[in-house]
Amino acid sequence: MTAETARRLTARDYKSALKPVWCPGCGDFSILSAITMAMAEIARPPEEVAVISGIGCSSRVPAYTNCYGFHGVHGRALPLATGLKLSRPDLLVIAAGGDGDGYSIGGNHFLHACRRNVDLTYIVMDNQVYGMTKGQPSPTTPPEWDSAMVPGGTGLRPFHPLVIALAAGANFVARAFSGDPSGTAQILVDAIRHPGFSLIEILSPCVTFRPEEREWAKQVHPAAVEETGDRAQAARRVLTDDGFNTGILYCGDRAPYQPAFAASGMEPAGGGAAGNADFDMEFRP
Amino acid sequence: MTQAETQKRASVPDATTALASPTIAFAMLGSGGSGVMTAAEILLRAAARAGYFGLMTKSFGPQIRGGEAAAFVTLSTQPVETQADQVDLLFAIDWKNAGRFAGELQLSTDTLVISGEAGAELPDIATAPRPRLEEINLKALTRSHKGTRPNMVALGAVAGAIGLPRDAIADLVQERLSKKGEAAMAQGLTAVDLGFDEAANFALAQLAPAPEDTPRWIISGNQAAGYGAIRGGVRFAAAYPITPATEILEWLAPRLQKIGGLLVQAEDELASINMIIGGSFGGAAVLTATSGPGLALMSESIGLAVAAEIPLLVIDVMRGGPSTGIPTKSEQSDLNIAVYGLHGDAPHVVTAPNSISDCLFTAQWSTHLAESMQVPAIMLSDQSFGQALGIVEKPAELAFATRRAVAEAPGQDYQRYALTATGVSPMALPGTPGGQYTADGLEHSETGTPSSGVADHNRQLEKRLRKVVDFEYGDHWAQIEGDGTAAIVTWGSATGPVRQAMRRVDPEGRRLRLISLRLISPAQPARLARALAGCSQILVVEQSQMAQFFGYLKAQFELPPMADLYARPGPQPFRAAEIAAKLEEWLS
Ligand SMILES: Cc1ncc(C[n+]2csc(CCOP(=O)(O)OP(=O)(O)O)c2C)c(N)n1
Ligand code: SF4
């Protein structure tokens, strides 16, 4: 950090001037606050942080921060963030998006990001609905939820992202609630500091298409038990809880995947590098 | 003929000169584990050391491992761009399932067929064209000489029959077997000599003396593409395996590692393209390589890279399609998806190499174009380049001056998508203070802020189109040869067979003109019009059932109504004889 940026950074320094497009009361506002609060505590200058997302209401978040951002295509935030982190290990890389983005269209990447365990923090703003496309069921929507596209409900058991993350190899698993921004910020700080792939599933009410989710404020409660490094124990807990306990559920010790990358990302190539004598030799008969 | 060539020729005994042929083609057949590929590759390498040009293509049965295999090799004193019309020599170590190669093996009454299996019943493909039939009892020979292997005897016999120098063969056999110890090396040489002795019994035209020594390379199109990308500056790659592109990835992975770069195996093509978008956003020059099905999966995200102005190289090594199609055979049928496959108005670059060694140049050039214009470039190579081994002249070392425009010290008023004269706007790389912006697939204003306004959409569309249309592509846009009034317009792997056919039909180079497009998109109508000036006849040649290239030319250029077409699908590769026959008919 340079002397100039060594001044104390506050949450404001991580907020952009853009006004979010979210509906008034949307849970995502508080998550944005929690992210900027966590950033201030981590205190990496904003230019050393990159926030990567897919598509959805929640995926709008990068432009609302003052960091480098990438608002990509639907479902592909994790591979984009992976490519950035592997080629720029010096950056702090955060991926963020919705439950549809991460668990439906991006489901395969979710599995492999957990398994690959690159040092990324993945924030899923789970509102159990597709907000941006105006109210269709997502993989975490309850089976009986009625909608125009799936009248009478899906009848399908919701996807359990936390257990799947544990099974697939995520190194840090937590649940948070948007209604508690400072609690969420604290979990985020721990997630960012923990090496490897961290999943923070944040319950975030969609007040427009799931107004009943306002009730979540009364249902959430801090995790009754201590965090664990035992995957089986963590899995048993999240499978038997009511889906509303918040806190860090699992903290593993897998080494992050970060193969050496010495070609400096700050030195853009493409200028016509000369041949390599060793490679030339290979082609001599 | 150069002086050195004259001298060399003079030193060869008359008897051989009388039988000398500038080009000789042979094929070797055998079932799994018979070692035909090793033998053929040693022969190719020996020919390269002796100064010949050549081409080796491989064909396999459907078994994943251990099925029948055929190696086709053409050697010549001249550059070889396609397999010869027919083989002069066929050596079968055995005949198991040989019938499968029926469409690929062209024999005639002039062909010498050597069966390595004593008393074997020969399949129709070997007998129907009534070639000369000979036999070498490989089993008996290898039994009576301890430790010798049938493929090494076959290798010696082929070398002897076509006149490759024994010393070059001996050196290579020793190099290959050196790890196995002295005894193995001696046995290898014994086997080769047995083959040479047997070959002395058969009369066959021998290769004419090699031209003046110039440095030769043995390289596949896939290796050349990988190396070209490295020369262009690529250091980060992500990809998902697919035939026939995998060799690019397997060649690159350890070499990128050696020079501080990285190749990641992604979970699918959706991931690979997005990983490289992430890498490029971070500042690295990046690539992925795939084939048609993978390109289809990537197309949404290539559109993202167009909108967000992210440079990247996608190499599509084309194979027969649609769907899984014919993964091991070539076709030029991904042109439409490469040019038109993106959603929205998405200007990008599409290039195509026109030979194995041009895969190196075009990959390097495409990286340069992508980086200079901050745009995705799709390079259309194909299986016939990718998986063939060529003996080529050592490619020249070229450097391009332009680099990615980077905002080194962005000020207060920095705008990522600023409207500039060239349409290219300096990119702030993450880590640079003051340059923070959000790259976006949403339409945006100059700052990068999402905007669905008319003015922003029009301005950003115009900027993204202008930067690729106005770019100075120079002479590399096409390969133009000859100045006759009958022009053949073609691209990619059709170029080699066309060029060889032209030499036959018009040896003086007075009637024909070759125009092979290296830059497919954006179209260069003014340049093509200039290249076609004075032509009274135009023939378009391509390997696609639906004539995708012809359709593209008609859409993008004012092709005169007399323009003719010769188009057909794969999997049979074009041969010079086929194109020459077409040219004769067309010219008459
Ligand atoms: C390839 C593709 N398919 C469909 C869409 C349409 N789409 C945009 S956002 C979205 C769902 C968003 O839901 P979620 O990820 O849960 O985010 P939320 O809006 O609820 O925050 C869909 C289906 C798209 N943009 N791209
Ligand atoms: S639709 Fe729902 S998720 Fe989207 S902004 Fe509105 S409240 Fe938030």
CA distance to B43, B167, B270, per residue, from B171 (Å)? 11, 6, 47
HSE, CB side, 13 Å, CA atoms: give it for residue B206: 22
In this complex, the residue of A5, A47, A91 whose CB is nearest that of residue B435 is: A47
Give the integer Cα–Cα distance in Å for B156 and B191: 7
- The verdict on whether omega for the bond into residue A20 sits within 30 degrees of 0, i.e. cis, is no
Does the beta-carbon distance from A284 to B448 stay under 8 Å? Answer: no
Does the beta-carbon distance from A91 to B364 stay under 8 Å? Answer: no
Residue bearing tokens 């596949």: B220
In this complex, the residue of B216, B234, B257 whose CB is nearest that of residue A285 is: B216
3-state secondary structure of A273: coil
Range B558-584 average pLDDT: 95
Q: List chain A residues with pLDDT less than 70.
A: 1-7, 264-275
Q: pLDDT of B497-511, one tens digit each?
A: 999 999 999 999 999
In this complex, the residue of A62, A63, A73 whose CB is nearest that of residue B301 is: A73
- Chain B residues closer than 8 Å to A88 by CB: 282-283, 430-431
Token readout for B522 is 């954006």
* Domain at B218-393, CATH from 3.40.50.970, 3.90.245.10, 3.30.1450.10, 3.20.20.70: 3.40.50.970
Q: Are residues A36 and A132 in the same domain?
A: yes
pLDDT of residue B440: 97
What's the alpha-carbon Rg for chain B, to the nearest Å? 26
Does the beta-carbon distance from B311 to A270 stay under 8 Å? Answer: yes
- Residues A276, A281, B1: CA angle, nearest 5 degrees: 110
Token readout for A61 is 């978040």
Secondary structure (DSSP) of B425-483:
-PBPPTT-TT---EEESS-B-TTS-B---HHHHHHHHHHHHHHHHSS--GGGGEEEE--
Token readout for A207 is 């007040």
Ligand positioned closest to the Cα atom of A21: 2
Tell me which residue of B492, B489, B476, B490 sits closest to B318, measured CA to CA.
B492
What's the alpha-carbon Rg for chain A, to the nearest Å? 20
Q: Are residues A165 and A272 in the same domain?
A: no
State the total domains in chain A. Answer: 2
Token readout for B414 is 């920095």
Question: Most B CBs within 10 Å: which of A74, A87, A94, A112, as the mutation test of the B interface?
Answer: A87
Q: pLDDT of B496-553, one tens digit each?
A: 999 999 999 999 999 999 999 999 999 999 999 999 999 999 999 999 999 999 999 9
- Residues contacting ligand 2 via CB (< 6 Å): A 22-23, 26, 28, 57, 127, 131, 206-209
Q: For chain A, report the end-to-end CA distance as a whole number of angstroms.
A: 52
Percent of chain B having pLDDT more than 90? Answer: 90
pLDDT of residue A262: 85
**Cβ atoms A207, A23 nearer than 8 A:** yes
Tell me which residue of B109, B40, B184, B81 sits closest to B490, measured CA to CA.
B81
Burial of B560 (C-beta count, 10 Å sphere; 0-12/13-18/19+): exposed
Tell me which residue of A256, A252, A255 sits closest to A171, measured CA to CA.
A252
pLDDT of residue A227: 84
Give the A:B interface size as CB pairs under 8 Å: 248
Give the integer Cα–Cα distance in Å for B166 and B184: 18
Q: Are residues A139 and A265 in the same domain?
A: no
**Cβ atoms B328, B365 nearer than 8 A:** no
Give the integer Cα–Cα distance in Å for A211 and B489: 64
Question: Which protein residue's CA is at the shortest distance from atom 6 of ligand 2?
Answer: A23
Interface check for B489 against chain A (CB to CB < 8 A): the answer is no
Residue bearing tokens 């048993």: A236
| Confidence bin at B116 (pLDDT 50/70/90) | very high
Give the integer Cα–Cα distance in Å for B225 and B364: 8
Secondary structure (DSSP) of B138-171:
HHHHHHHSTT--HHHHHHHHHHHHHT--HHHHHH
Give the integer Cα–Cα distance in Å for A69 and A94: 9
Q: Are residues A143 and A271 in the same domain?
A: no
pLDDT of residue A277: 85
Token readout for B13 is 């005994």
In this complex, the residue of B262, B278, B448 whose CB is nearest that of residue A81 is: B278
pLDDT of residue B60: 85
Token readout for B97 is 């399932």
H helix runs in chain A, sequence order: 28-42, 77-87, 99, 107-116, 161-168, 181-193, 216-219, 231-240, 277-282
Burial of B489 (C-beta count, 10 Å sphere; 0-12/13-18/19+): buried
Give the integer Cα–Cα distance in Å for B386 and B221: 4
pLDDT of residue B83: 96
Q: Are residues A199 and A284 in the same domain?
A: no
Q: Are residues A94 and A160 in the same domain?
A: yes
B241: CB partners within 8 A, 6+ apart: B249, B265
Does the beta-carbon distance from A83 to B45 stay under 8 Å? Answer: no
Enumerate the domain spans of chain B: 15-207, 218-393, 405-471, 475-587
Number of H helices, E strands in chain A: 9, 8
In the DSSP assignment, the letter for residue B181 is -
| Cα(A214) to centroid(ligand 1), Å | 22
Q: What are phi and psi of B240, to 5 degrees?
A: -125, 135
* Domain at B475-587, CATH from 3.40.50.920, 3.40.980.10, 3.50.50.60, 3.40.50.300: 3.40.50.920
Q: Strand pairing of B312-318 and B349-351?
A: unpaired
Q: Are residues A167 and A272 in the same domain?
A: no
pLDDT of residue B61: 78
Q: Strand pairing of B486-491 and B285-290?
A: unpaired
Q: Are residues A142 and A168 in the same domain?
A: yes
CATH number of the domain bearing residue A204? 3.40.50.970
Ligand positioned closest to the Cα atom of A208: 2
**Cβ atoms B35, B150 nearer than 8 A:** yes
In the DSSP assignment, the letter for residue A151 is T
Determine the distance from the C-alpha atom of residue B567 to the mean position of all C-alpha atoms in its chain, rounded to a whole number.
20
Substitution candidate for ligand 1 out of A61, A99, A130, A213 with most atoms within 8 A of CB: A130
Question: Most B CBs within 10 Å: which of A4, A115, A261, as the mutation test of the B interface?
Answer: A261
Token readout for B165 is 């120098």
| Cα(A141) to centroid(ligand 2), Å | 15
Question: What residue type is assigned to position B303 of the chain?
Answer: G
Does the beta-carbon distance from A46 to B436 stay under 8 Å? Answer: yes
Better-scored residue on pLDDT, B408 or A268 = B408
What pTM does this model have?
Answer: 0.96
Does the beta-carbon distance from A271 to B402 stay under 8 Å? Answer: yes
Classified by CATH at the fold level, domain B15-207 comes out as Pyruvate-ferredoxin Oxidoreductase; domain 3 (3.40.920)
Q: Are residues A50 and A168 in the same domain?
A: yes
Burial of B281 (C-beta count, 10 Å sphere; 0-12/13-18/19+): buried
| Helix pair angle (B36-49, B150-162), 10° resolution | 40
Task: Please give the residue of chain B at the shortest CA–CA distance from A275.
Answer: B231
pLDDT of residue B414: 98
Q: Say yes or no: do domains B15-207 and B218-393 share a fold.
A: no
Most confident range, picked from A114-123, B24-33, B60-69, B394-403? A114-123
A68: CB partners within 8 A, 6+ apart: A47, A49, A50, A51, A91, B428, B430, B435, B436, B437, B438
H helix runs in B200-291, sequence order: 221-232, 246-258, 269-281
Q: Are residues A224 and A151 in the same domain?
A: yes
pLDDT above 60 for B360: yes
Question: Which protein residue's CA is at the shortest distance from atom 2 of ligand 2?
Answer: A206
Q: pLDDT of B1-30, one tens digit each?
A: 334 443 333 333 334 444 799 999 999 999
Q: Are residues A143 and A278 in the same domain?
A: no
Q: pLDDT of B282-315, one tens digit each?
A: 999 999 999 999 999 999 999 999 999 999 999 9
Tell me which residue of B253, B240, B248 sits closest to B220, measured CA to CA.
B248
Owning domain of residue A153: 3-254
Tell me which residue of A247, A203, A197 sits closest to A222, measured CA to CA.
A247
